[in-house]
Amino acid sequence: KGQKVLVDVWASWCGPCKRLTPVLEELAGEVKDTEFYELDADANGETCAELGIRSIPTVLLYSNGILVDHFSGFQSKEKIQEWLKNN
């Protein structure tokens, strides 16, 4: 497995995003084989359209530049850890 990149698509007005952000920030300090990034949906509408984002939060996971999986909505830290391990 190569380097993984996780992209959190969020917006400042989104309640579930506000709950998810600290979980992802915590994981970013713990998960060494994954780079974590945030994408503000409001400031990057065109990019979100190109990526096919239909709801937020949406978390995208890339491996070697290829989208391997994604999820939408809030997930617990444990669920995200398991998701990362399986991808």
As annotated, the active-site residues are 14, 17
CA distance 21 to 8: 8
CA distance 75 to 71: 9
